[in-house]
């Protein structure tokens, strides 16, 4: 069982989610799926009419795993093009770039550079991002949910 809550405005977003609320053992193994908690928050600062700076953070924690924290900052130009940096505590740093294909779809690229002990065995990571942002309201006053993610 999973549960979560998400809220946002034109300038902020915040969410909390819990996964595996009911412990589950995978049949035929001794592997047991346990609780994980996720917290996400961010805020959009308007620099001028077309440029926004969007810092955000994401934390996740399991009962037997250490707290993992990601922080990111993104600069958005007119809700059409964005570029950013992200840092995952003791693990990686990433560069991000992307653009909005349409009001509903965005396309991006990320390059993760590994900082952890697996650096000698990892050739880092290239990621292609395809995002879908559904409309929240029907009619002429529809909004993207939320447009600055």
pLDDT tens digit sequence for 87-142: 998 889 999 999 999 878 999 999 999 888 887 787 789 999 998 877 665 555 55
Does residue 61 contact residue 36 with C-beta atoms inside 8 Å? yes
Does residue 96 contact residue 86 with C-beta atoms inside 8 Å? yes
| pLDDT band, very low/low/confident/very high, at 147 (cuts 50, 70, 90) | very low
pLDDT of 27 reads: 79
Instruction: Name which of 66, 41, 68 is nearest 55 in CA terms.
Output: 41
- Is residue 74 pLDDT above 60, yes or no? yes
Residue with tokens 């958005």: 76
pLDDT tens digit sequence for 6-25: 888 888 999 999 887 777 77
Structure tokens, 72: 């990111």
pLDDT tens digit sequence for 24-48: 777 788 777 778 899 999 999 999 9
Residue with tokens 């130009």: 77
Q: Quick check: pTM over 0.75?
A: yes
User: How many residues in total does the chain contain?
Assistant: 149
- Is residue 54 pLDDT above 50, yes or no? yes
pLDDT of 116 reads: 83
């Amino acid at each position: 069982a999973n549960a979560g809550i998400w809220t946002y405005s034109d300038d902020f977003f915040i969410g909390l989610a819990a996964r595996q609320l009911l412990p589950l053992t995978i049949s035929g193994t001794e592997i047991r799926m346990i609780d994980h908690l996720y917290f996400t928050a961010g805020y959009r600062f308007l620099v001028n009419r077309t440029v926004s700076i969007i810092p955000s953070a994401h934390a996740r924690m399991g009962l037997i795993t250490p707290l993992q924290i990601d922080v990111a900052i993104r600069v958005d130009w007119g809700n059409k093009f964005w570029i950013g940096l992200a840092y995952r505590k003791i693990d990686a740093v990433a560069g991000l770039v992307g653009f909005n294909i349409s009001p509903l779809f965005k396309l991006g690229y990320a390059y993760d550079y590994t900082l952890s002990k697996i650096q000698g065995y990892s050739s880092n990571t290239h990621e292609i991002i395809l995002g879908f942002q559904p409309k929240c309201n029907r009619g002429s006053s529809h909004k993207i949910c939320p447009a600055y993610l």
